[in-house]
């Protein structure tokens, strides 16, 4: 969507008579925290976009869990159908 090159931005915004190496290095040092924050934001954004693409389909869920835990040993299988258990006593059954 967007990619900001801060070194190029610094160079383009400086007037031509102030484009010395010391001025650029000073501005790069001043913007270093902003650059790191931007990189953290891009990493978080990419991770959030990846998580948003997963849904309840088995293959998609398996892929998400494998990426999350870093293993290939995750498989989702269908469980056998069991007879439903009663949550009430048979005497309490309403006719």
* pLDDT (mean) for 9-28: 92
What per-residue confidence (pLDDT) applies to 78?
73
Q: How many domains does the chain have?
A: 1
* H or E element that contains 23: helix 21-53
Q: Which of 2-6, 42-46, 71-75 has the highest mean pLDDT?
A: 42-46
Please check whether residue 20 lies inside any domain of the structure.
yes
Cα–Cα distance for residue pair 32/35, rounded to 1 Å: 5
* pLDDT, tens digit, 9 for 90 and up, residues 22-34: 999 999 999 999 9
Please check whether residue 10 lies inside any domain of the structure.
yes
Please check whether residue 88 lies inside any domain of the structure.
no
DSSP label of 87: S
Please check whether residue 41 lies inside any domain of the structure.
yes
Q: Which pair of tokens denotes residue 65?
A: 């869990």
Structural domain harbouring 59: 6-74
Please check whether residue 44 lies inside any domain of the structure.
yes
What per-residue confidence (pLDDT) applies to 93?
66
Q: Which pair of tokens denotes residue 42?
A: 């891009």
């Amino acid at each position: 969507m967007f990619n900001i090159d801060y070194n190029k931005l610094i160079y383009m915004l400086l007037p031509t008579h102030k484009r010395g190496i010391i001025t650029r290095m000073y501005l790069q040092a001043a913007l270093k925290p902003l650059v790191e924050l931007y990189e953290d934001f891009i990493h978080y954004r990419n991770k959030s976009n990846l998580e948003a693409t997963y849904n309840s389909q088995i293959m998609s869920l398996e892929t998400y869990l494998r990426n999350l835990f870093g293993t290939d040993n995750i498989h989702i299988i269908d469980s056998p159908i069991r007879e439903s258990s009663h949550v009430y006593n048979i005497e309490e059954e309403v006719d």
